[in-house]
Amino acid sequence: MYETEIFRSGFDSSGIHVWGWEIAVYLFLGGMTAGLMIIAPLLSRRVPEERQSRALRLLPFAAPVLLSLGMLALLLDLEFELHVFRFYTALRITSPMSWGAWILLLIYPATLGLGSARLSAEETLSLVSRWPRLSPAFSSVLSWTRRNVEALERLNVILGVALGAYTGILLGTLAARALWSSMWLAPLFLISGFSAGAAATMLLPTTSEERDQLRRWDVMAMAAEIGALAIFFIDLASDGGERGRAAAALFFGGPYTAFFWAVVVIAGLGMPMALETIESRRHVNAAVLAPVLLLIGGLALRWIFVLAGQAAV
Amino acid sequence: MRFNLSRKRYAMAVDTRKCVGCSACVIACKEENALPLASFRSWIETETRGRFPDLAMEIRSERCEQCTDAACVANCPTGASYYAKGGVVLVDRSLCTGCKACVASCPYGARSIHPDGYADKCTFCLHRVDKGLKPACVAACPTQSLAFGDINDSGSDIAKVLRTRQWKQIDTEAGTKPNLYFLI
């Protein structure tokens, strides 16, 4: 038998483990934001305006809140936080992190613009009366967003897809890590982000008509996510060479097997998919269990990929 | 007088037949560059093949490969990582946010984070090379197993040794075009 053992001196091996919970949380919240940006315009086209819940109408405002939390996690990960402005003194096309930073910046005006276009008359009035001095500027912004609401909806969907895919591409270009260097991470994280966005919306006080539609989309998204996961691992094991097979083995018998199958696949995908299918068929009112499981599964997926990607160098 | 029309391309060769893994290069580097506690820019890799008692061992003094298509430079979001003179990859501390994309992208594990919050790596001792000196590791090696120089200059130490010896490169499947050569 032929064996190879490599011993490396000097370097503290913990220095190689570079990204922790901050990146996992950021990828999760970023994906959820992306999902909300896609769902808000699509769902409000499906449900006639007079039947829409307040939660759906104001859903675009949830995106910047979640994204800001995610960006806070990202900031905490930086080793030199004061230099964060350096992301905006450069645009490097070869670095997904660079164009991602710029996408994040575009999301604020896009989501706030769409949200403001959907404010009711009373909501507008209460905002204006709170800051009377700003009311001329505010009403001119509102009249512009109301005139361009369809363009804003399209922009939200486009930026949402870009954000969701970017969370996967961010890891995908790091060719040094066998588990990450796959372009299948982009669709996988995009679909999972859509699912997380649907789950978050279902937890809000929406109508049963809205939740029915969300469940139908979500079941399809979960089926697609299971497919994307399967393709990801098949691609990794068949096309990723020796290192790819070693990385795939982490999930099939290796140290991440139990956590991945129990939390990500069964609790985070299989169970909510079964629950939502039953809820759709039987027209029972949705429980919070399925969306909560989905959110846990979505976070667990990012977490395990961030950790395992660094275990398989 | 020799005329060299091609661009400077600094590279280093490590003689795996002479290297005994004494770590003099590692310590010389640490001292020259005043590296903080537990921080290194070079290291010794010992590769053992076979099964006892039929063993073969290769000792390599390693550092940043100063790749021609460096993943760290491509993945740097702020332009802090850049190609300096002779293709050497350097970090501009005033631009570095410590996002660690470069550390994550390096196939050789050659980067680390300095306690002051920026990405740290081997510079091929450009500050010494500019004065006509050899990099600290090359100067310190007691078995003279390290050769450094401009690979495009046929009279350089590195060009001579690569012409006369068999060599290999490691982890080339990462596609970054490394510039460390291991004499075998």
So where are chain A's domains? Answer: 17-311
The pLDDT value recorded for residue A63 is 96
| % of residues, chain B, pLDDT over 70 | 97
Contact across the interface for A3 and B74, Cβ inside 8 Å: no
Domains contained in chain B, CATH given? 10-183 (3.30.70.20)
CATH architecture classification, A17-311: Up-down Bundle (1.20)
User: Which residue type does A80 have?
Assistant: F
Mutation for testing the B interface, residue in A83, A88, A91, A167 having most B CBs under 10 Å: A83
Chain B residues with CB-CB distance to A177 below 8 A: 104
SS3 B181: strand
The span from the CA of A229 to the CA of A304, in Å, is: 13
Give the number of other CB atoms < 10 A from CB of residue B93.
Answer: 15
- Convert the pLDDT of each residue in B140-179 to its tens digit: 999 999 999 999 999 999 999 999 999 999 988 888 999 9
Give the number of other CB atoms < 10 A from CB of residue B46.
Answer: 15
Does residue B1 have a pLDDT over 70?
no
Does residue B4 have a pLDDT over 50?
no
Task: Supply the DSSP symbol for B173.
Answer: G
The pLDDT value recorded for residue A10 is 64
Contact across the interface for A7 and B104, Cβ inside 8 Å: no
Q: Which of A18, A83, A94 sits opposite B104 (nearest CB)?
A: A18
B81 contacts chain A (CB < 8 A): no
When comparing pLDDT for A82 and B135, which is higher?
B135
Task: Supply the DSSP symbol for B23.
Answer: -
The pLDDT value recorded for residue B179 is 96
For residue B95, give how far its alpha carbon lies from the nearest alpha carbon of chain A (Å): 6
The pLDDT value recorded for residue B38 is 79
Long-range (24+ apart) CB contacts under 8 A made by A8-11 are A8/B43, A8/B44, A8/B45, A8/B46, A8/B109, A9/B21, A9/B23, A9/B26, A9/B43, A9/B44, A9/B45, A9/B46, A10/B23, A10/B26, A10/B40, A10/B42, A10/B43, A10/B44, A11/B40, A11/B43, A11/B109, A11/B112
Instruction: Name the average pLDDT for chain A.
Output: 90
Contact across the interface for B98 and A83, Cβ inside 8 Å: yes
The complex's ipTM? 0.84
Does residue B26 have a pLDDT over 60?
yes
> Looking at chain B from residue 121 to 150, which residues have their Cβ under 8 Å from any Cβ of chain A?
none
Mutation for testing the B interface, residue in A14, A174, A177 having most B CBs under 10 Å: A174
- Average pLDDT of the residues in B8-29: 94
Whole-angstrom Cα Rg for chain B:
16
**A48-65 burial: b if 16+ Cβ within 10 Å, else e:** eeeebbeebbbbbbbbbe
The pLDDT value recorded for residue A137 is 85
Residues in chain A: 313
Q: Is B177 exposed, middle or buried (0-12, 13-18, 19+ CB in 10 A)?
A: middle
Task: Show the low-confidence residues of chain A (pLDDT under 70).
Answer: 1-2, 10-17, 285-286, 312-313
* Sheet containing A4-8: order of strands: A4-8, B42-51, B54-63
The span from the CA of A244 to the CA of A234, in Å, is: 10
Instruction: Name the average pLDDT for chain B.
Output: 92
Q: Are strands B180-183 and B10-15 parallel, antiparallel or unpaired?
A: parallel
The span from the CA of A56 to the CA of B68, in Å, is: 51
For residue A208, give how far its alpha carbon lies from the nearest alpha carbon of chain B (Å): 43
